[in-house]
Structures are given as structure tokens and as C-alpha cells.
Amino acid sequence: MIEVRYERGVYLPQQNLWLDPWDAKPFAFISHAHNDHVAPHEEIIVSQRTARLLKSRLPGRRIEHILPFGEKRRVHGLDLMLLPAGHIFGSAQCFLFLGNETLLYTGDFKLRPGKSAEQVQWREADTLIMETTFGLSRYRFPPTQQVVDQIVSFCRETIEAGEVPVLLGYSLGKAQEILCSLDGVGLTPMLHGSVYQMTRIYEQLGQSFCKYVRYRANDVAGKVLICPPSANRSHMLERIPRKRVAMISGWAVDPNAVYRYQVDAAFPLSDHADYDDLIRYVDFVRPRRVFTLHGFAAAFACDLRARGVEAWALTEQNQMELHLSAADNALPVDPCAEVSRTAESTQGSFHKQVSDTRSEFLAFAKVGEAIAATPAKLEKIRLLSDYLRELTSEQLPVITTYFTGRAFAQSDPRTLQVGWSVIVRTLQGATKIDDAAFHSIAARHGDTGKTAFEVLDARTTPRPFTIVESRELFESLHRARGPLAKAQLLQDRFSISSAREGQYIVKILTGDLRIGLREGLVEEAIAKAFDVPLDQVKQANMLLGDIGETAALALRNEVHQAQLSLFRPIKCMLATPLPSAESVWQRFVDVGDVDGGSALATQPAIFLEDKFDGIRAQLHRSADRVEIYSRDLRRITGQFPELVDQATNFQEKLIVDGEIIAFEEGRRLTFFDLQKRLGRKSDGEDLFARAAADVPVAFVAFDLLWLNGESLLRTSLRERRARLSEVRLPPQFQIAKVVSARSAAEIEQAFRQARRHLNEGLMIKDPESLYLPGTRGMFWFKLKKELATLDVVVVAAELGHGKRNNVLSDYTFAVRDETTGGLLRIGKAYSGLTDAEIAELTEHFKQNTLADHGRYREVKPDIVLEVAFNSIQPSARHASGLALRFPRIKAIRRDKNVDSIDTLQYAHELAARDAQIQQSVSPEVA
């Protein structure tokens, strides 16, 4: 059997041939000239017309094998033939003769005759790889002539009403099809520039059209404007006051198309096959197996299998299964499994749980609501623990993870890439609610979860949803590539979810449960539910970074088995911020008192270290492996290859805790420099070489957690430090210097010293303390101070979210530009005000609004705030060209008015000072 793979494009490994790949490849077949197929490949197979169109879309040189339709040719020892696909002008299918097997790849295609595309042709083939953009039965297009008639009457009526009809269709293919449809009906088409350009190429290749004109802004009256969809709401169209816009697309059969595209009408004229034609095509080709691609690939494959045709969706996620099936002769995972399983359960051959019609996910959501309803922590814990006890061992880890506001465990690096934007679109799509109604609901809540509830309420037809299915939903959202694919998955789920279920899906997606319960209380609930000591549960969760696995261990009474081990990162110990050296010292004196008043006298001192402005990192090293983890237990090994290289030179197996800083002798590097390396993807050695050269880093170690098989978590900091000092460090590794202190004055002095070293502040640690992962206890403190404060004036206010939904809690503020006298924005903040102050300001701003834009309003600039921050630097975010790091409101300066606020010039001075302190010096480490 021919091997078929999918990796952002179909790949035939045995032939080393790519079919419509997304990325540049050495050797590829390009079915047609739409942009998503255009990449700078080295060598391509194309039809003649596609070659011509490509030339205008992607200039540059490449080797082209231009094949005529219907003739068998040999390219690189490969026998193949192109067949017209009927999709757009020049679009081709690729038919391959591979020994005694044949393969037909359709590319995009349609069966209905088009007026501007060649009529499709086909041959029988053993393997069919087909596009299934419209592979759901609800996509059945009306007869073409009927749609054309509708479009024509739309245009005529619009013109008669004295308005301009605007038809939106892709500039290549769809626009020309529309143009042909208007032939002989007495209308004059006017073409947008990009449409015009493509149409001219069609003509050069022998296609003829009715008379048309090119777009001229002052000549649109009485014409039919044909534009690409991207022109909608563009400058060009906004200049036409009286118009009606229609989208021409297969998606027009969706009842909500008008809202989705923000147009006045939508007509289902498509250059793709509809559902019925997809089915017919399979009948024509009589393949032994089918691979489906694009759109509703999985659903369509499922339908084909129901018809007795072997069919699989070709997507990234099925890759592994396909591979397995070749090797093991096992069946791939069946996307129809849900269906068959329910069928089985009705015959009584399945677990009672499956046949239970009540929705498990709804039960989960209801527990969440009950927890939200009570402010009492103990009551929350009780509700949750009762629920946890009811769950199966399979459900328990999933649910406990959900209750921490996550779809995946903390130590699980997978992300969903589904945010507010995708959620909003899918809620609209699933309910077909109109824009105005949606926005009025959304504006009322400022909470995506609540919005979801109200939007979905009574607009969906709920079906039971099991916990395991919910897990699968999140997993497939993670696997799906691109917002569109994700949106489709989510929309399908919303349309069969109850309002409450949808709300909780959204809560998990956004990571905001907002039920007053998170990891800490979940730990307590697990302890209570399974009668395990709480500290063991906490310990296990710290070590595992996986509340679900912790719960599973608790259920089996095995929590004590969790142990610190190499390559299993643990949460790091955190420090509590304190405002002054005196307040820090007070903490230790108090502890001493409890201890009989003389504890400190008998102890040498407390430990002080500089606080470095970098990224907290945990480095694990064995004899043959090194990994680096971030504060959130994410593997960041790939970002720092030179540290990994150096770490192989340690003599010991160890886990060290420290900070990675941007560092080079004689050069001032900042946190922002470091950030440049952080999000970077780790493919390509060149990239590393360059990144490392740009921003050299150092690892500053300040704690040792594990050494040669021995956990040091339960030894004192003093002991850990002693052990750390004995470790031989490779280059680029340093140990943070510790000094002792015995008074507030010494702390203050060390803090100043740290700042002189250009470090962020000071860490103060109890030398006798154990390492407590994940807690911000009273053993480590940090001392940071603001760089300066600015007096600024509030120029805009926004409604908050969640519990701040009904108050204007978000303030944008400005400084004065002395040269123009104008107010220039410099930052945003709310942090620092009490609820009462926010309430008061809300009232004030409501009465002093200059312009109301819904959730956001510009306000009269008369409230002066004193804003503190840790640094100030150039930025494009705000009009002032400056931005503040960690801005917070120190005070409302009621004694001041707009005229006495600080100036842009002063802010620039601060920024200059901030940047220049450091010119030639580099921060001191040890």
C-alpha cells in the first residue's frame, strides 16, 4: 500500500512528493494558485494556467514541470497525469501511477460546471485523497442558476433603491465566476484592483468575459462592485455611503453567515463540492480507501465508513494512528466511537455509566456553582470532597485538574491557544445569536463564563457530556492547528452543550474559575475526601506539579510515595515581599521572641543575597542528561543550549535552584534582553548561535535541592548552602554571594549595596528554614523599592472584569507634554486602590465622562494619582513613548489638579537616569 502522511500538507514518503504543502519543500505538486498553496518550493508540478497565475503571485525562480491535462508524463521517475479539478481556472488533480496501484489527489475541486473553470474529470483509483471542506450534510448548495438569479435580483433591487451592490468573492476564481454570472443581464460590473488584475490574466489565457470596468471611486453609481472579502469594511468601501454588501461563499448556507461576515446578504455560490457531490465523487472514483482533508474531514470520513468505504481523516492527530495501522495492522482510533458506543450501550453490553443519560459534565458544573455560592472555605471544601468521593478513578484526575482552573496539569506543557476571541466567535456561531444581542449580553457581564451562560441559554440542544469526553475535547482543541480549526471544534461542542456546561467549558478555557477556590482548597478537599494527611497531599502536589495525579495517589492511599527525583521539576520556594529593612528585621525578631527571646542571639545571623532580575530556573543534571525548568515547571532547556552544554561539566548529579540572567562582563543587559531569548522556538542551530551571541546568559545558583540521590529539601538552608559551596561550577555558572546580617541597618546597607550592583533588590532568608516548594512562607523575604513615583492624571477608565464588572476599575493615565501642553498616556493601573476608592472614582468618572465607548470611556482629566513603578523605559504601547514596569497606584492626590502633574520631560529624565546608571558597568553577581 502507498504510504500517505500528513504534515502541513500531504506527503508521500516513498515518492518523496508533497501535495499542496504549506511550507516550502524540495518537490511538490501545486493544485491551484490560491495563496495558501503558494510557497517558495524548489521544484513544482503544475498545470499551465496555474503556472501563469503563480507567476503573478509569487515572483522568483523555481523549477516548474508544466503538465497538460489528461496526458501521462514522467517526472523524476514518477508516472503521473493531471486532471482538471473544476475548482478555479487551472486547478488540477494529480493522478499517480505507482506500480500496480493508482492514487488520485483531488486538491480543491467541484463537480458543478463553472463558467470560469475547466469541467472536472476523474478516473477510478485505488487510493483517493480528497478535500472535504463542506463534508457535513448541512452543506448542500441550491442549484447554481437559482443562486445566480438571487444574486442578480439582489443587484437590481439595490441599484433601484439608489444604492451600490457590492459582491464579495475571492479575487482569484470566485470573482471571475461572479463576473461570468452577470453576463447578459444588463448590469455593469466594476472590479476592485486585485480582482481586475487576476481577471486580466484570465483573459491573457483565453477566457472571455462580459464588459466590465475597473474601480473608480467617483463612478460607482449604477455599477456592481466586485471585491475580495478583505475589502469589506475597508477604507475603499467605507467611502461608499449607500451600499448593500453580499458575501458570495459556500459558507452562506450557514444561517449565521450574514452576522459572521458582517454583510447584508450571503449567497451560496461555491468553488468547492458540496456534501452530495463529495459523496458522488467517491462513487465515481470507486477507491479502495479514502483519505479526507480540510474542513469536516473526520465527520466525512465517518460518514463514508458508515457507507462501507474505508476512510480516514488526514490530520496531524491521526498521524500516529495511521502509522500504527500500517505497522500493527490495527484499526485507527475511530472518530465515530461515540456513536457506536451509544449504540452498543443500548444493547446493554456496555457499562452502566455510558447508558446513564445524565450529563456528567453538568454535574461537575453544578458542584462548581454550589462552591461559588458559599463564601465559607470549609463549606467549599466539604462540597468538593463529597463530590470527589463519587468519582471513578478515571474521572478524578480530570476533575481535580479542572477545579484548579486548568484543562491540563500544571506540569503539562500543552496549551489550548483558545482565548477570548475564539470563544466569542464560537458562542456566536453555535447560537446564531445576532451581534447586537450578543454584545449587549457581553457588555452586561464582563465575564466570559457568565456571558457564555446567557448566550447559550435556550439557544442550544444539549446532549449528555461525559467527563472523559470533556477531556477529549480539550485534547483535540490542543491538537487542532489554527484558530479556525479550534473554533470549529468548540462551536460543535457549544451547540450541544447546556448553558451551564458551556459556562464551565469557558471557565476552564480562560483559566478563570472564579468560584473562590483553587489549588490550595483542592488539596484540602482531596485530603478530606480520601482521609489522607493534608501535608502529604501538598507535598505530593508540589513534587508532581499535577493535582490530578496527586488525587489519584490519594485515592490509592499512595501520596507518600511521591518523591523528589531528577527530571521531575518541583515548584520553587517563594519570598514574601516586604516594604522596608525594618519590617524584615521585625519578622525575625518576632520569631526569636516566640523561641524564648534569644534565638537570634544564639544564631549567627540571617542570610542576605542580592535579588537578580532574571528568570527563576531549576536545573537538573545527571551523568548523561540536563534539563532546565521555569518557575511554572515548564521545560526551557531548549532556550539555553549553552548552559546545557556547560552543565554537562558538573561533577555531580544535582538539582540546583537559581536565576538565569542576561549577563556579560562590561555590558549592561536587562530583563528585556533576556526575554528576547525566552519565547523563542528551539529549532535550528543557527538561531541558537545568534541568540546566544546577542544575549549571553549566566546561571546564578542560590540553592541546592538534591545531590547525588539525596534530597536536601528537609535540610536547613545553612546546610544546603554549605553543600552548594562545595560543588565545582562550570563556566557561566556562579553562586549568589551570601552575607549575614544582625540588624535592620545591616539589611538596609546590603539593600543599597545590591542596588549599586544594579540588582533588583535583596533577598532575606532564614538560614534554618527548610525548602518549602510552592509556598510563599515567612522564611524568605524580598525587599524591592520603587524607582520613583509620578503624579499623573487619569484620562480614560474601563469597566473591570468578574467581581469588578460594574465598576470603572481600570485607569489609563497621562503626563503633560510641556512643549505642546497636551496630555500623553504613559500607563494603566488599578492595583493599589481599595474597593471603596474604586467605587468613589467610578461615581466620579461616570459623572465626568467625555466620550462613552461602552466598557471604555474617556474622562475629564481631573483625578491626579501618584503612581509608583520599578522602572521606566521607552515603549510603543502608549503615546508618551514610555512605559512603566509594575505600575501601581500609591495614592489619590486630592490636593493636586491637572496643572500640577508631572511632565513628559521629567519622565524622560527618569528613564534616561534609569538606563544610564548602568552604562559601562555590569551587575555584580558574586
Partner DNA sequence: ACTGATGCGTC
Partner DNA sequence: GTCGGAC
Partner DNA sequence: GTCCGACGACGCATCAGT
Residues involved in catalysis: 611
Please tell me whether residue 681 binds DNA under the rule CB under 7 A: yes
- Is the Cβ of residue 15 or residue 199 nearer to DNA in the bound state? 199
Shortest distance in whole angstroms from residue 133 CB to DNA? 14
Shortest distance in whole angstroms from residue 750 CB to DNA? 18
Shortest distance in whole angstroms from residue 196 CB to DNA? 15
Shortest distance in whole angstroms from residue 167 CB to DNA? 15
Contact call for residues 568 and 708 (beta carbons, < 8 A): no
Say which DSSP state 734 is in. Answer: E
- Is the Cβ of residue 560 or residue 803 nearer to DNA in the bound state? 803
What does the DSSP assignment read for 101-117? EEEEE--S--SS--SSS
Please tell me whether residue 314 binds DNA under the rule CB under 7 A: no
Shortest distance in whole angstroms from residue 56 CB to DNA? 14
Which residue in the set 405, 429, 767, 861 belongs to the binding site for DNA (CB under 7 A)? 405
Which residue in the set 14, 16, 26, 35 belongs to the binding site for DNA (CB under 7 A)? 35
Please tell me whether residue 375 binds DNA under the rule CB under 7 A: yes
Contact call for residues 623 and 653 (beta carbons, < 8 A): yes
Q: How far apart are CA 213 and CA 206, in angstroms?
A: 19
Which 246-265 residues touch DNA, going by CB under 7 A? none
- Is the Cβ of residue 521 or residue 864 nearer to DNA in the bound state? 521
What does the DSSP assignment read for 212-278? -EE--GGG-TTEEEEE-GGGTTSHHHHT-SSEEEEEESGGGGSTTHHHHHT-SEEE---SS--HHHH
Write phi, then psi, for 840 (nearest 5 degrees): -65, -45
Instruction: Return the range that interacts with DNA (CB under 7 A); candidates 91-99, 214-222, 274-282, 797-805.
Output: 797-805
**Residue-wise over 876-896: b if at least 16 C-beta within 10 A, else e?**
eebebbbbbbebbbbbbbeeb
Shortest distance in whole angstroms from residue 306 CB to DNA? 29
Q: Residues 453-492: x/- map of binding to DNA (CB under 7 A)?
A: ----------------------------xxxx--------
Shortest distance in whole angstroms from residue 340 CB to DNA? 31
Please tell me whether residue 737 binds DNA under the rule CB under 7 A: no
- Here the cell at position 535 is 501535608
Handedness of CA 433, 436, 441, 445 (dihedral sign): positive
Q: How far apart are CA 418 and CA 31, in angstroms?
A: 31
- Here the cell at position 10 is 500531504
Please tell me whether residue 784 binds DNA under the rule CB under 7 A: yes
Q: How far apart are CA 194 and CA 209, in angstroms?
A: 16
Which 831-890 residues touch DNA, going by CB under 7 A? 831-836, 868, 870, 873, 875-878, 883-888
Which residue in the set 45, 80, 231, 313 belongs to the binding site for DNA (CB under 7 A)? 231
- Is the Cβ of residue 95 or residue 588 nearer to DNA in the bound state? 588
Which 880-909 residues touch DNA, going by CB under 7 A? 883-888
- Rg, Å, the chain Cα set: 33
Which residue in the set 304, 418, 452, 473 belongs to the binding site for DNA (CB under 7 A)? 418
- The amino acid present at 437, given as its one-letter code, is A
- Is the Cβ of residue 163 or residue 512 nearer to DNA in the bound state? 512
- Is the Cβ of residue 373 or residue 722 nearer to DNA in the bound state? 373
Q: How far apart are CA 331 and CA 319, in angstroms?
A: 13
Q: How far apart are CA 913 and CA 896, in angstroms?
A: 26
Please tell me whether residue 592 binds DNA under the rule CB under 7 A: no
Which residue in the set 74, 288, 676, 913 belongs to the binding site for DNA (CB under 7 A)? 676
Contact call for residues 517 and 380 (beta carbons, < 8 A): yes
Shortest distance in whole angstroms from residue 174 CB to DNA? 13
Please tell me whether residue 678 binds DNA under the rule CB under 7 A: yes
Which residue in the set 62, 432, 801, 846 belongs to the binding site for DNA (CB under 7 A)? 801
What DSSP element (H or E) covers 56?
A: helix 48-57
Which residue in the set 186, 308, 596, 679 belongs to the binding site for DNA (CB under 7 A)? 679
Which 631-670 residues touch DNA, going by CB under 7 A? 631-632, 634, 636
Please tell me whether residue 112 binds DNA under the rule CB under 7 A: no
Q: How far is CA 278 from CA 5, 210, 292, 894, in A?
A: 22, 31, 10, 71
Number of residues that bind DNA (CB under 7 A): 92
Which residue in the set 13, 142, 413, 533 belongs to the binding site for DNA (CB under 7 A)? 413
Query: Which residues does residue 740 pair with via DSSP β-bridges, in sequence order?
Result: 607
Please tell me whether residue 439 binds DNA under the rule CB under 7 A: no
Contact call for residues 17 and 78 (beta carbons, < 8 A): yes
Which residue in the set 148, 388, 515, 764 belongs to the binding site for DNA (CB under 7 A)? 515
- Is the Cβ of residue 190 or residue 796 nearer to DNA in the bound state? 796
Of the candidates 152, 140, 181, 171, the residue with the CA atom closest to the CA atom of residue 268: 140
Which residue in the set 111, 423, 543, 864 belongs to the binding site for DNA (CB under 7 A)? 423
Instruction: Return the range that interacts with DNA (CB under 7 A); candidates 598-606, 675-683, 715-723, 747-755.
Output: 675-683
Q: How far is CA 163 from CA 181, 186, 190, 236, 244, in A?
A: 21, 17, 14, 16, 7
Which residue in the set 828, 901, 904, 910 belongs to the binding site for DNA (CB under 7 A)? 828
- Is the Cβ of residue 309 or residue 636 nearer to DNA in the bound state? 636
- Here the cell at position 549 is 495525579
CB count within 10 Å of CB 773 equals: 21
Which 612-631 residues touch DNA, going by CB under 7 A? 613-616, 630-631
Q: Between helices 420-431 and 435-445, what is the axis angle to 10°?
A: 130
Torsion angle, CA of 22/24/25/29, rounded to 10 degrees? Answer: 50
Q: How far apart are CA 533 and CA 526, in angstroms?
A: 9
Contact call for residues 4 and 291 (beta carbons, < 8 A): yes
Which 568-587 residues touch DNA, going by CB under 7 A? 577
Q: How far apart are CA 757 and CA 762, in angstroms?
A: 11
Please tell me whether residue 806 binds DNA under the rule CB under 7 A: no
Which 519-538 residues touch DNA, going by CB under 7 A? 519-522
Please tell me whether residue 156 binds DNA under the rule CB under 7 A: no
Q: How far is CA 266 from CA 151, 233, 243, 249, in A?
A: 9, 16, 14, 7
Of the candidates 382, 331, 391, the residue with the CA atom closest to the CA atom of residue 361: 391
- Is the Cβ of residue 415 or residue 897 nearer to DNA in the bound state? 415
Q: How far apart are CA 705 and CA 461, in angstroms?
A: 53
What does the DSSP assignment read for 361-386? HHHHHHHHHHHHH---HHHHHHHHHH
Which residue in the set 459, 777, 844, 893 belongs to the binding site for DNA (CB under 7 A)? 777
Please tell me whether residue 417 binds DNA under the rule CB under 7 A: yes
- Is the Cβ of residue 142 or residue 413 nearer to DNA in the bound state? 413
Which 38-97 residues touch DNA, going by CB under 7 A? 40
Please tell me whether residue 803 binds DNA under the rule CB under 7 A: yes
Contact call for residues 530 and 671 (beta carbons, < 8 A): no
Shortest distance in whole angstroms from residue 874 CB to DNA? 7
Instruction: Return the range that interacts with DNA (CB under 7 A); candidates 135-143, 224-232, 735-743, 852-860.
Output: 224-232
Q: How far apart are CA 698 and CA 661, in angstroms?
A: 5
Shortest distance in whole angstroms from residue 724 CB to DNA? 20
Please tell me whether residue 370 binds DNA under the rule CB under 7 A: no
Please tell me whether residue 516 binds DNA under the rule CB under 7 A: yes
Which residue in the set 113, 533, 597, 802 belongs to the binding site for DNA (CB under 7 A)? 802
- Is the Cβ of residue 112 or residue 620 nearer to DNA in the bound state? 620
- Is the Cβ of residue 3 or residue 42 nearer to DNA in the bound state? 42
CB count within 10 Å of CB 598 equals: 10
- Is the Cβ of residue 422 or residue 562 nearer to DNA in the bound state? 422
